[in-house]
Amino acid sequence: MDFNIPLENIIRLTPQKKSALKKLGLLSVRDLLLYAPARHEKFAGLKKISDLAIGENASIIGEVTRIEAQKTWRKKMNLAEAVIRDDTGSIKIIWFGQPYIANIIKPGVRIQCSGRVQYDKKNIYFSNPMWGAADNAFPGTGLLPIYSETYAISSQWLRYHIRKILEEINDWPDVIPEPILKKYHLPHLKQALWSLHFPKKPIEFEIAKKRFSFEEIFLIQLDRHLERHLQKETKANAIMPDLALMKRFVESLPFKLTGAQRRVIWQILEDVKKPTPMARLLEGDVGSGKTIVASAVALLAAKKKLQTAFMAPTEILARQHFQEFIKRLEPFRVSIGLLTSSESQKFPSKISYKKTADLSKAALLKQLASGEIQIIIGTHALIQNKVKFKSLGFVVIDEQHRFGTSQRKRLAKEKEEVVK
């Protein structure tokens, strides 16, 4: 069975159930099998109806002789009320707030119920017991999976179909290699799925959850390794260092760079001269000089006839960076622009040896596409389809954790060429 097959292809679903499953996020076989129970409840030992005692927890098996949806006279509460009989007697079952059960269980079927025996001054009864078809409701382990439910999709429905699918699947491809499973003492996929839903002991459920948590992290790490491998094979513009330019930039600053700032700039210069994309995370407290480092490399890219895109998560931050770049690159005749998604603002462009110009958005985009703007600073607006570059060569993303992976990748690709 293909784990990605839609549930509607293997289970007959009403429109109501399709909608309910979609609400729970259960669209495929994989979704259903990985829908972990919220908890497992232990049900009591099996007893005959005549042997039941008030206040005890017990399980019974019997035939439904009557069932109907009702509403209480005083509180107007909806409920389902049934009578179950075995060879020793009969007992009333009440499911408060669950009148739909009367549409699921039909007279004549045999069911198993488990819960606390109550007394209503007349007779004993079960109140909101766990229940299921007598032949497959409880697998005999004493633990019953209880799932997060929605209207039309009950735990009973989920138990029945999950168990049926698990019994039908023979081929169990596992994404985790066997040596890794052995190394970390993790169960195989088939065993883990059974233990997730129908464990024999509580510890089996915990081990199954551990295995699937490990799998999630394992796949994330695998994806990252693959991404790094592909990155090494991808070509990008080499930006050759200009030490004289960097010396002039450092000397133009009204303060002396720290040793850490000088070291990071040098490391980046060593990276960008390679014909492969650079992926570097620069960490530091506010005011530690990250923007100075970025402006130094952006200056180098501009003098090598390559454009720089600097994306910030908010318009306020973008404006702050815009002013900082203008201040630091004033002596170097570099054109800098600001682009955000705000419709009310004017779109300034700064030729650092000229005055700031208030452009229309169309004019700004035209200058960017022609290469006249060498450094563009902005927000998410930079990844709009209408934003085109002539020769994007360097990308800086401020507070990168506030952007999605696809957003970051989109900015780092221009005309199918990966940039620094």
- For residue 415, the model assigns a pLDDT of 40
- Is the pLDDT confidence value at 400 over 50? yes
Q: Does residue 139 have a pLDDT over 90?
A: no
pLDDT at residue 211, rounded to an integer: 95
Nearest Cα to Cα of residue 307 among 210, 374, 232, 404: 374
**Contact criterion met (CB below 8 Å) for 381 and 311:** no
Q: What's residue 342's pLDDT?
A: 74
Q: Among 48-62, 86-100, 267-281, which is the least confidently predicted range?
A: 267-281
Mean pLDDT of 194-222: 93
Tell me the average pLDDT across 220-231.
Answer: 81
pLDDT per residue over 90-129, tens digit each? Answer: 999 999 888 888 888 899 999 888 888 999 888 899 998 8
What contacts 417, CB < 8 A, 6 or more positions away? 235, 236, 237
Per-residue confidence at 420, pLDDT binned at 50, 70, 90?
low
The DSSP element (H or E) to which 146 belongs, if any, is: strand 143-146
For residue 405, pLDDT beyond 70: no
Highest mean pLDDT among 26-35, 107-116, 149-158, 378-387: 26-35
Structure-block tokens of residue 188: 């195989």
Q: Does the pTM of the predicted model rise above 0.85?
A: no
Indicate the helix (H) or strand (E) that contains 133: strand 130-133
Does the pLDDT of residue 46 top 90, yes or no?
no
Residue 410 has pLDDT above 80, yes or no: no
Q: Is residue 198 pLDDT above 70, yes or no?
A: yes
The whole-chain average pLDDT of the chain stands at 85
For the residues 84-92, what does the mean pLDDT come to? Answer: 95
User: Which residues neighbour 331 within 8 Å (Cβ) at sequence distance 6 or greater?
Assistant: 248, 252, 352
pLDDT computed for residue 66 by the predictor? 95
Q: How far apart are CA 108 and CA 413, in angstroms?
A: 66
How far apart, in whole angstroms, are the C-alpha atoms of residue 10 and residue 28? Answer: 10
Looking at residue 80, its pLDDT comes to: 92
pLDDT digits (tens, 9 = 90+) for 247-265: 999 999 999 999 999 999 9
Tell me how far apart the alpha carbons of residues 135 and 235 are, in angstroms, rounded to a whole number: 62
Per cent of the chain over pLDDT 70 is 89
Predicted confidence band of residue 292 (pLDDT cuts 50, 70, 90):
very high
pLDDT value at residue 416: 41
